[in-house]
Amino acid sequence: VKIAKTTKPIKTVGTVGTVKMSIRNPTLDNFYSADIAIIGAGPVGLFSVFQAGMLGMSSVVIDALSHIGGQCTALYPEKPIYDIPAYTKISAANLISNLDKQNSPFKPKYMLDQVVNLISVDEKSHWILRTSQDNYIKSKAVIIAAGCGAFKPNMPPLEGIDEFENKTVFYNVGNTDIFKGKKIVIAGGGDSALDWALSLAEIADKIYIVHRRRNFKAMDNTVKKIEEISTGSGVIEFIIPYQLYEIHGEFGILHSIDVINLEGDIMNLKADYLLPFFGLKMDLGPIIDWQLNLNKNHITVNPENMMTNLEGIFAIGDVSDYPGKLKLILTGFSEAAVACHNAYKYVFPDKALHFVYSTNNPIIL
């Protein structure tokens, strides 16, 4: 099963429901094609890759996060899950790692760190998805496994912060080289804040951890290590109980941050970078505008085939809704199998689908 880049760029204008959408001239470099486009790399989207692969269909998986796993890796990687069939107990992170391994024969293309913000159709009734990184994906069927929506970082309510975002203010850390010898304000008291403080302490000149409470919501071991650095080399300094108050700088270059405590005392911290880690929120965002039938932020589907009101677009996992819906991973796995079997006729309209068990499936044997 191959992910092919299309041989020629296409220009397409389509409609979804009553909304007319035009697609700007994509170039070969940002145009991908696969049998099925899967929106969401949570456990359910990941299992869809396997189910699609077993039926000979290729897939592209797009996710807003920089890693696969959806809620399992973003919200509770270390927690044990007890209701995955045949596992007495498995951590959420290991479940995702196993799903990834199970998909490896099918070589899915993961397009991470990007939100699908547009769906359109071309003149041949192929679906065209556009992502926030201006990538285009052409597919014959779409599976929406978007959970409660795309994960987005909670942003601190600091006036003018947008001028600094992705220059000197980051909500997730990519290239750590830029922090060498710099002064960094890390805001937040959870695992992300403290894990990054610990790892950047090896290269930064100074790290201020700004947190509004005295207690941290992070692993005891991490807190202990940070306390040791703070009393030892002093690279890390706790600014507690304070919260972010004002940002100073110009043209996206940060100069300093004012922080404030409950008594109204303000302290100025000289800083080159601000890393706020205030958790993630989920936002159904653009999906709301795709002319899909919705029920309270969930996509209504026909449970017989998991199809939405749009032909060839399926919705599964937490985002889907039908009478009797159970929001569980195991239900989502079953929905993935149903959706893929029903997507087959859109991918191979001239072929009959003969049901085979995995034990006899020549594709995996």
Ligand X SMILES: Cc1cc2nc3c(=O)[nH]c(=O)nc-3n(C[C@H](O)[C@H](O)[C@H](O)COP(=O)(O)OP(=O)(O)OC[C@H]3O[C@@H](n4cnc5c(N)ncnc54)[C@H](O)[C@@H]3O)c2cc1C
**Does 328 sit near ligand X (CB under 6 A)?**
yes
Question: Cα 173 from chain centroid?
Answer: 15
Binding mask 282-321 for ligand X (x = CB under 6 A): ---xxx-----------------------------xx---
Name the one residue in this structure whose structure tokens are 């159709």.
121
Answer yes or no: are the C-beta atoms of 336 and 103 closer than 8 Å. Answer: no
What are 23's strand-pairing partners?
A: 12
- Cα angle at 11 between 7 and 17, to 5 degrees? 120
**Does 347 sit near ligand X (CB under 6 A)?**
no
The binder of ligand X chosen from 14, 26, 147, 312 (CB under 6 A) = 147
Q: How many residues does the chain have?
A: 365
The binder of ligand X chosen from 14, 26, 42, 188 (CB under 6 A) = 42
Q: Which residues of 214-229 are buried (b: 16+ CB within 10 A; e: fewer)?
A: eebebeeebbebbeeb
The binder of ligand X chosen from 40, 108, 249, 276 (CB under 6 A) = 40
The binder of ligand X chosen from 60, 96, 115, 340 (CB under 6 A) = 115
Smallest gap, in angstroms, from Cβ of residue 301 to ligand X? 13
**Does 325 sit near ligand X (CB under 6 A)?**
no
Smallest gap, in angstroms, from Cβ of residue 316 to ligand X? 7
Distances (CA, A) of 285 to 117, 190, 290, 363: 8, 26, 10, 37
Interatomic CA distance for residues 63 and 128, integer angstroms: 16
**Does 44 sit near ligand X (CB under 6 A)?**
yes
Smallest gap, in angstroms, from Cβ of residue 157 to ligand X? 23
Neighbour count for residue 241 (Cβ, 10 Å): 16
* Complex with ligand X: residue 10 or 330, whichever CB lies closer: 330
Answer yes or no: are the C-beta atoms of 38 and 67 closer than 8 Å. Answer: no
**Does 151 sit near ligand X (CB under 6 A)?**
yes
Residues of this chain that interact with ligand X (CB under 6 A) are 39-45, 62-65, 70-72, 75-76, 79, 81, 83, 115-116, 145-151, 285-287, 317-318, 327-330, 332
